[in-house]
A and B are shown apart, each in its own frame.
Chain A
Amino acid sequence: MAALDSDSDEDLVSYGKGLEPLEEGERPKKPIPLQDQTVRDEKGRYKRFHGAFSGGFSAGYFNTVGSKEGWTPSTFVSSRQNRADKSVLGPEDFMDEEDLSEFGIAPKAIVTTDDFASKTKDRLQEKARQLAAAAAPIPGAMLLDDLITPAKLSVGFELLRKMGWKEGQGVGPRVKRRPRRQKPDPGVKIYGCALPPRGSEGSEDEDDDYLPDNVTFAPKDVTPVDFTPKDNVHGLAYKGLDPHQALFGTPGEHLNFLGGGSEGASNLLGNVGLSKGRKLGISGQAFGVGALEEEDDDIYATETLSKYDTVLKDEEPGDGLYGWTAPRQYRNQKEPERDLRYIGKILDGFSLASKPLSSKKLYPPPQLPRDYRPVHYFRPVVPATSENSHLLQVLSESSGKAGQDPGTYSRHQLNASKRGQLLGETPIQGSATSVLEFLSQKDRERIKEMKQVSDLKAAQAKARSLAQNAASSRLQSSTPDLGHCSQHPTLGSWSAATRASNFKPFAKDPEKQRRYEEFLAHMKEGQKDALERCLDPSMTEWERGREREEFARAAQLYVSSHVTLSSRFTHAKEEDDSDQVEVPRDQENDINDKQSAVKMKMFGKLTRDTFEWHPDKLLCKRFNVPDPYPGSTLVGLPRVKRDKYSVFNFLTLPEPTSLPTKPVSSEKGQQQHGSDKSRKLSRWDTSKLERKEDSISEFLSLARSKVGPPKQESSPLVNKEEERTVDKGAASQPEGEGSRPSMDLFKAIFASSSDGKSSSSEEEQDDSENDQEGTEEANFQSSQEVAMVESAVTHTAEPVPCEPAAPFPIQKIQIDEREEFGPRLPPVFCPNTRQKLETPQREKHKKNKEKHKMKKEHRRKREKKKKHKKHKHKSKQKNKKPEKSSSESSDSSDSRSDEEETADLSPRELLRRCTPVVQ
């Protein structure tokens, strides 16, 4: 830069950037100390000059690669928007940037494009092309190629030409004299034929001396060294079957073993030119001799495989011994020569070794001793006790340790207990060597007894079998260890029997069953004579034959049915009672009454149903709302199991709330919290109350509510209910017991009533039975239900007999309303009462009362209108029997008569009937 700026030194050529001029006060910079002269790569990391690739695992984060975690995996990501394209990964994909750089293992070299590539006729290429053309099935096809390809000259070529270069010359300043051609180095041995002439220079070489001095020459064109990368998987210097030889049958050609690749090629092509004047063409055995071909002597002189080496061997085929192995001495004699006169092709970059490799010396395996037998005997270990000291001695004698007494054992031959003995320790009691030691004394005795029994049996069996078939050689042979052998099977059979106790094909005949089990045990042990052994020897031959067959079949059956089935099936987790179906416990009741309520625009309680509904825990979480039922696993509406084919499933229930959840809680209730329990409790009580209200007591409560505000009602029962529902957590079992009859009473009632399937379903039916006319069963159950309620009332509700004042018109109204909405129980008060009970703190209290009044008026009005319908419906009301429980029974006709009786009664009469019962 500075050089350019200054005008003075225009004629100077400056390279690079000049140093920045020093400021006045500035001191020249210190040279970087040696320890700071580091080499870094382009990422600023210390460059390593070692490693697997150029930089080793130079990359990374503290010598890991890529990231802290190591290799960053390239995850497969494909989405609807970004479709992952299937990419074939090459080795470059796994390389670092350094590897692709100039000095890496896969440098991304700058390659001249076609525009700049020289299109001069490379001689080598040309020759190769010619060769290929000769080898091609259609000779001359490549010539066509040549004609077609446009003669395109690269830029460099044209530039050179403009500079005066001519084809065939070398590039560079002209030289005065051709440099003397180097003589081949005498140190380099050249074998075989002389090097082929290098282009045209061979001839020029001789008349070097005659050149005039004033003539300059263009420099020699240098044929670039052909570094052809090896891109195949052949062995080094492998050359396939030469098509030229194969086609033209120049058998001597392959003996032209000297020469590298390029030379060989040039040689070859020289021959192409000669080729005995033969045309290039397809010839050979397969084609025969054409009509135009002159010589036919050569037809069968084609190459045969025998001219090629099929075996790797020392001799080259050049020695004329095609495949024939010479006698040893001949070969030995030739061997020294071979070192020097190696005839094979020496690979580029290799030279012959000056001295032969020293051959590995082979040593013979050691001689085995004469008496060696390749079998090892383990000597039995006999504990040294007083009883078998003799045996021990014998053993030790046999093993050549006769003279040794225990004390002289070497340290390593002693085990822990022995060492302990030597040291005078007391043996440790805790170390149990057998499972049996873990058993209690009693069990051990029992086992011992059993062993004795089985021994006895075995002995008997043995005696019998011995007596019977003395010829049984197997038994005889096993006699010495019979005691041991026979006590095992029996024990085994015993265990097998316990295992297979569920399958007893011969349970009727215990003896036979025993024999069968014995047989099974034998079978299990793989004894072939299992049958013979366990059969009763006292039986006749025919009997035994039959039994054998039976056993075999039974065993087969047992295996096939038991094992195969049990391997495929598992036990059901729950007993599936197919005749039951889950239905929502509470259902929205019939819409008839609601429709009429809507018609009258009496929205509110008439049109509203309230259910217990369990939101999913996760839903509560997502809504940031505490789970209202923390202990329950229920989701949605509570469900109960009911008979699948019951009529009641398809009937809408007028009473959504009055369900005793006893069975439900017993089913699922283990995980429910105390608060929940109390809730259930209160609901139970509520339901009881409500059930009472279903029947006559409903009227009572209504009357009460009419008399005074429902909340200030003096009924302790109701108060208690309120209390309990208000402080749910505090409610406890005994408190509840105080206000309701004991469970025994309920149990007694329910146990007698039904098959005990699920009382909840029963009570469902009770609830629904108001809807049913003429369903006997419902009647029956309802009567029971009423009985229960009655009894409950007797227990609890002393104050229930209310003030007899006033209620009559209201009761009447109530009844009338029933009529208006058909036979069904209006749901109005059930959810109402429940609501009141459960949430006594209602802001809309006043409102409700007003509403009540309104409704009353409405009812009165309607009552007048519909009075004439009354008698029609009366007969259908069933649930109003205030009958005593003891008297009423399963007799449905009885209750029916009762109910008909009651239907005709006036509400006053009803009340009167009710009170004595209650009292």
Chain B
Amino acid sequence: MAFPEPRPQAPELPQKLLKTLDCGQGAVRAVRFNGGRPPLYIPSPAPPEAGGPVTPACCSPVDGNYCLTCGSDKTLKLWNPLRGTLLRTYSGHGYEVLDAASSIDNSSLCSGGGDKTVVLWDVASGQVVRKFRGHAGKVNTVQFNEEATVILSGSIDSSIRCWDCRSRKPEPVQKLEEARDGISSVKVSDHEILAGSVDGRVRRYDLRMGQLFSDYIGSPITCTCFSRDGQCTLVSSLDSTLRLLDKDTGELLGEYTGHKNQQYKLDCCLNERDTHVISCSENGKVFFWDLVEGALVLALPVGSSVVQSLAYHPTEPCLLTAMGGSIQCWREEKEGGAG
């Protein structure tokens, strides 16, 4: 007996504060969920703009059960955010940790920090597997590629370096030095590298086509991300604006304003179903916009100071925010059940 497909419901936004963790590692520079991102290219024919339900394919081991916090006290910590338990502390950086990422199989972590190094960690043992030195400035952002064979790191030395985790070479595989100013954000898909730079451009390196697409935004880019269907890129810049660009043409699909982002490198993201755009703000709130309509849906008050970083659960409506020295875990109103 076949039940009719449930009607697509409006997604619940995570607005219930589940937990506040005091990380005890100075200011939390970034908070990241573990696991990889769900696959960007979803076979679903309906684009998110059409309002069709985008169901994340759970074939890949997308996790999201744990989170990483990058502290200004040179440590990286692995938490279970729902239970609030500290699982492991990774120390070995020489300066504050600015970004971290986890491999899709959860076996290794990478992090970059103010000590200009990119560190590859072994999750289980907590040991430094490799340290990649070569950046001339602090490393703003790190990402694994899909198979965690390459670490891409963006630094304020305006270069993106692709470090090979497989070989023992100390040099990067390739340096992407097209940017004219510091790299603030790097995101990776299966064949693309998306980089936002302070020079006001979003560059997308398409490895498959062998082309570089450079979109001029004007204002310094603070964060970029792909949409989960891989069709769009979300770009936030220091003019307190988020823009949704068509990936292929660079056309503007949507603009989201209302938050405040004029000084800091703040994160933005899309929610798990690409229905909402979420961004940190300098006024202590997290802003939710409807992706299609561009209307401000929710301004989630987190605290009084700057929301430094946020991370959205890859599959569930669960949001992590970082403010000061603590992180907050937010869930949807009616909890559980989401599977």
* A and B found bound together: yes
Interface residues of A (CB under 8 A from B): 80-81, 584, 588, 591, 594-595, 597-599, 601-605, 607-616, 618-620, 622-629, 635-637, 843-844, 847-848, 851
Chain A residues with CB under 8 A of B178: 584, 588, 611, 636-637
B204-245 CB contact bits vs A (8 Å, 1 = yes)? 011111111111111000000000000000000000000101
For A614, the closest partner residue in chain B by CB is B210
- Cβ of B249 and Cβ of A628 under 8 Å apart? no
Chain A residues with CB under 8 A of B335: none
Sample of 18 A–B contacts (CB below 8 Å): A597-B216, A608-B250, A609-B214, A610-B214, A611-B214, A615-B174, A615-B210, A616-B173, A619-B162, A623-B145, A623-B190, A625-B190, A628-B211, A629-B210, A636-B175, A637-B178, A844-B249, A851-B251
Chain B residues with CB under 8 A of A595: 216, 218
B190, B211, B252, most chain A CB atoms within 10 A: B211
Interface residues of B (CB under 8 A from A): 127-128, 145-147, 149-150, 162, 164, 166, 173-178, 190-191, 200-201, 205-218, 243, 245-246, 248-252, 255
Question: From residue B186, how far is it (CB to closest CB) to chain A in Å?
Answer: 14
- Cβ of A611 and Cβ of B251 under 8 Å apart? no
- Cβ of B250 and Cβ of A603 under 8 Å apart? yes
Question: From residue A830, how far is it (CB to closest CB) to chain B in Å?
Answer: 14
- Cβ of A622 and Cβ of B147 under 8 Å apart? yes
Cα-based distance from A601 to B201 in the complex (angstroms): 15
Cα-based distance from A620 to B173 in the complex (angstroms): 10
Chain B residues with CB under 8 A of A620: 207
Chain B residues with CB under 8 A of A598: 216-218
Cα-based distance from A814 to B247 in the complex (angstroms): 27
- Cβ of A623 and Cβ of B210 under 8 Å apart? no
- Cβ of A619 and Cβ of B174 under 8 Å apart? yes
> A595-B218, A603-B250, A851-B251 provided; 7 other pairs, C-beta below 8 A?
A597-B216, A603-B252, A604-B252, A608-B249, A609-B213, A609-B216, A627-B210
- Selected contact of B248 from candidates A613, A614, A844, CB within 8 Å: A844
- Selected contact of B251 from candidates A81, A591, A603, A612, CB within 8 Å: A603
Cα-based distance from A604 to B249 in the complex (angstroms): 6
Q: Please name the 3 residue pairs, one residue from A and one from B, whose CB atoms are nearest each other, closest first.
A: A628-B210, A613-B212, A603-B252
- Cβ of B174 and Cβ of A588 under 8 Å apart? no
- Cβ of A607 and Cβ of B250 under 8 Å apart? yes
- Cβ of A628 and Cβ of B190 under 8 Å apart? no
- Cβ of B249 and Cβ of A622 under 8 Å apart? no
- Cβ of A622 and Cβ of B213 under 8 Å apart? no
B190, B217, B251, most chain A CB atoms within 10 A: B251
Chain A residues with CB under 8 A of B190: 623-625
Chain B residues with CB under 8 A of A591: 200, 216, 218
Cα-based distance from A797 to B330 in the complex (angstroms): 65
Cα-based distance from A624 to B149 in the complex (angstroms): 10
Cα-based distance from A824 to B251 in the complex (angstroms): 23
- Cβ of A610 and Cβ of B213 under 8 Å apart? yes
Chain B residues with CB under 8 A of A636: 174-178
- Cβ of A623 and Cβ of B150 under 8 Å apart? yes
Cα-based distance from A623 to B218 in the complex (angstroms): 30
Chain A residues with CB under 8 A of B214: 588, 608-611
- Selected contact of A594 from candidates B210, B218, B243, B249, CB within 8 Å: B218
- Cβ of A605 and Cβ of B207 under 8 Å apart? no
Chain B residues with CB under 8 A of A619: 150, 162, 173-174, 207
- Cβ of B145 and Cβ of A616 under 8 Å apart? no
- Cβ of A588 and Cβ of B149 under 8 Å apart? no
For A607, the closest partner residue in chain B by CB is B216
Chain A residues with CB under 8 A of B215: 603, 607-608
Cα-based distance from A607 to B149 in the complex (angstroms): 33
- Selected contact of B212 from candidates A602, A603, A627, A637, CB within 8 Å: A637
Chain B residues with CB under 8 A of A594: 216, 218
Chain B residues with CB under 8 A of A602: 252
Chain A residues with CB under 8 A of B176: 636
Question: From residue A635, how far is it (CB to closest CB) to chain B in Å?
Answer: 6
- Cβ of B149 and Cβ of A622 under 8 Å apart? yes
- Cβ of B164 and Cβ of A622 under 8 Å apart? yes
Question: From residue A600, how far is it (CB to closest CB) to chain B in Å?
Answer: 10
Chain B residues with CB under 8 A of A624: 146-147, 190
Chain A residues with CB under 8 A of B164: 618, 622
Chain B residues with CB under 8 A of A628: 207-211
- Cβ of B211 and Cβ of A613 under 8 Å apart? yes
Cα-based distance from A318 to B329 in the complex (angstroms): 104
Question: From residue B242, how far is it (CB to closest CB) to chain A in Å?
Answer: 13
- Selected contact of B249 from candidates A597, A612, A848, CB within 8 Å: A848
Question: From residue A442, how far is it (CB to closest CB) to chain B in Å?
Answer: 57
- Selected contact of A616 from candidates B149, B174, B250, CB within 8 Å: B174
For A831, the closest partner residue in chain B by CB is B213
Chain B residues with CB under 8 A of A626: 208
Cα-based distance from A584 to B174 in the complex (angstroms): 16
Chain B residues with CB under 8 A of A614: 210
- Cβ of B255 and Cβ of A601 under 8 Å apart? yes
For A80, the closest partner residue in chain B by CB is B128
For B166, the closest partner residue in chain A by CB is A622
- Cβ of B216 and Cβ of A612 under 8 Å apart? no
Cα-based distance from A607 to B245 in the complex (angstroms): 11
Question: From residue B229, how far is it (CB to closest CB) to chain A in Å?
Answer: 14
For A635, the closest partner residue in chain B by CB is B174
Cα-based distance from A624 to B147 in the complex (angstroms): 9
Chain B residues with CB under 8 A of A618: 164, 173-174
Chain A residues with CB under 8 A of B248: 843-844
Chain B residues with CB under 8 A of A625: 190-191, 207-208
A598, A601, A614, A615, most chain B CB atoms within 10 A: A615
Chain B residues with CB under 8 A of A844: 246, 248-249
- Selected contact of A610 from candidates B212, B217, B255, CB within 8 Å: B212
Question: From residue B181, how far is it (CB to closest CB) to chain A in Å?
Answer: 12
A594, A608, A624, most chain B CB atoms within 10 A: A608
Cα-based distance from A814 to B175 in the complex (angstroms): 39
Cα-based distance from A870 to B208 in the complex (angstroms): 44
- Cβ of B250 and Cβ of A615 under 8 Å apart? no
- Cβ of B174 and Cβ of A612 under 8 Å apart? no
- Cβ of A601 and Cβ of B207 under 8 Å apart? no
Chain A residues with CB under 8 A of B217: 598, 607
Chain A residues with CB under 8 A of B149: 622
Question: From residue B197, how far is it (CB to closest CB) to chain A in Å?
Answer: 11
Question: From residue B82, how far is it (CB to closest CB) to chain A in Å?
Answer: 31
Chain B residues with CB under 8 A of A81: 127
Chain B residues with CB under 8 A of A615: 174, 205, 207, 210
Chain A residues with CB under 8 A of B218: 591, 594-595, 598-599
For A587, the closest partner residue in chain B by CB is B178
Chain A residues with CB under 8 A of B173: 616, 618-619, 622
- Cβ of B213 and Cβ of A612 under 8 Å apart? no
Cα-based distance from A848 to B206 in the complex (angstroms): 21
Question: From residue A618, how far is it (CB to closest CB) to chain B in Å?
Answer: 5
Chain B residues with CB under 8 A of A851: 251
